[in-house]
Amino acid sequence: MKKPVLIILTLVTFVVLPSCSKVNEEPDLTPKSLELTAKSLEVINYSNDFGIELFTKVAAVKNENLMLSPLSASTALTMLLNGCDGDTYDQLKGTLNYPESMTISEINEVYKSLVDQLLVVDPKVKLALANAIFYRQGFSVKAPYLNTMTTDFDAEIAGLDFSLPSALTTINKWASDNTNGKIPKVLDEISGDAVMFLMNALYFKGDWSYQFDKALTADRQFYPEGSDPVNVSTMKGEVGSKVIFGSNYRAIEMPYGCTNFTMVVMVPVETLPGFVASLTPETWSTLTADLDGQEEFGEVNVLMPKYKFSYEKRLNDQLQSMGMIDAFIPGTADLSGISDASIFVSFVKQNTFVEVDEVGTEAAAVTTIGIELTSFPPQPYEFVIDKPFVFAIRERTTNTLLFIGQVTNPLDQ
């Protein structure tokens, strides 16, 4: 909030709703504005660019259901950035698209202000974000780094005996507890060379502002690319939405709660891989600006498949191609802000979950960064919306991109 979600859309009517409130005592659906500086808005835009680029690189690898959380990834990587120096710092800062002029203290301040407000901006949407650092008992971590993680990132910090099964249990339980049980496991084992894990968990649960009628849900055909049609459970309803048309896509935006958070579904005119290949930060900015240019959520007949899936992806290759290179190289990585020991990043991975039904959307992500000692070699790692599509979840007053993914077949889980 797999590269965003699946929605089948038929435009039968498009009538401007008289107001955000309905006669049946529905609350006022006016988004609350966040108080952010111009520099904060600049950082959000650049962070969205990072998220779009990361998504397109992951989607290019395999045509499958997938979802990532740019916000979760950027948060965990910013925690890592606080411990980097030299070229390692410059490369990671560039990968995250932070302005060159911003200091790490300013970046942390922007992050804290944004998160503090996102978590409470809509009382009808449950949004939770948690950070943690688990390190091997006996491994020396610099106090200033841990102090920053506590102060600016409110991180839970614990030293564990990585040789005991209880350490793996503790780490996986933290992921489960902070995603409402939707991501019960992020690690299968702990390498003997591992000294630290930096973790971020993001959980989202929002009811549609205009819900689908469950009585209208029925099996309807969906057309995966390159294979026969499949019958999928498809929602139907007249729901408040915004619709726009681009040169190679049509898009719909549907709000949650008081409308701060929305889902944007992009249905390609031609193939999904072709559309994803053309999806750039500029495309996203233009698309969302066009949506924001519409003042009201009009009433639209929407047919949208229900879907639910989990996804796991190691992001080393994609991050390296985006400029984060030295951090992954033993003997070259400069993580001297974390420890005087020679350490490097062994992996960056995300586990995500999404479920969309008539009531709303539940989505979760855990980003895990593994850090190991250089003295050991790194371990190897291995609308009618009736066609594949891209989906995203954003906070629309700031255009903060929480999740983005794609659906190639809603039956795949």
Answer yes or no: is 349 within a domain: yes
β-bridge partners, 243: 252
Confidence of residue 75 (pLDDT cuts 50, 70, 90): very high
Answer yes or no: is 284 within a domain: no
pLDDT digits (tens, 9 = 90+) for 151-166: 999 999 999 999 999 9
Q: Residue 403 has what pLDDT?
A: 79
Closest among 191, 179, 108 to 366, alpha carbons compared: 179
Answer yes or no: is 120 within a domain: yes
Q: How far is CA 218 from the centre of its chain?
A: 29
- What percent of the chain stands above pLDDT 70? 91
In angstroms, rounded to a whole number, what is the distance separating the alpha carbons of residues 365 and 178? 9
Q: Which of 9-13, 34-38, 211-215 has the lowest mean pLDDT?
A: 9-13
How many domains is the chain built from?
A: 1
What burial letters (b/e) apply to 53-72, b meaning 16+ CB within 10 Å?
Answer: bbbbbbbeeebbbbbbbbbb
Answer yes or no: is 143 within a domain: yes
Answer yes or no: is 268 within a domain: no
Q: Where are the alpha helices (DSSP H) in 206-269?
A: none
CATH number at residue 123: 3.30.497.10
Answer yes or no: is 253 within a domain: no
* Region 65-72 average pLDDT: 94
Q: Are strands 389-395 and 343-356 parallel, antiparallel or unpaired?
A: unpaired
Q: Residue 168 has what pLDDT?
A: 96
pLDDT digits (tens, 9 = 90+) for 76-100: 999 999 999 999 999 999 999 999 8
Question: Could you tell me the residue range of the domain that residue 117 belongs to?
Answer: 38-207+308-373
Q: What angle do CA 222, 213, 269 make, to 5 degrees?
A: 30
Q: Residue 14 has what pLDDT?
A: 31
Distances (CA, A) of 277 to 48, 63, 70, 375: 17, 12, 18, 40
Q: Residue 1 has what pLDDT?
A: 34
β-bridge partners, 63: none
Answer yes or no: is 88 within a domain: yes
Answer yes or no: is 407 within a domain: no
Q: How far is CA 124 from the centre of its chain?
A: 20
Confidence of residue 26 (pLDDT cuts 50, 70, 90): low
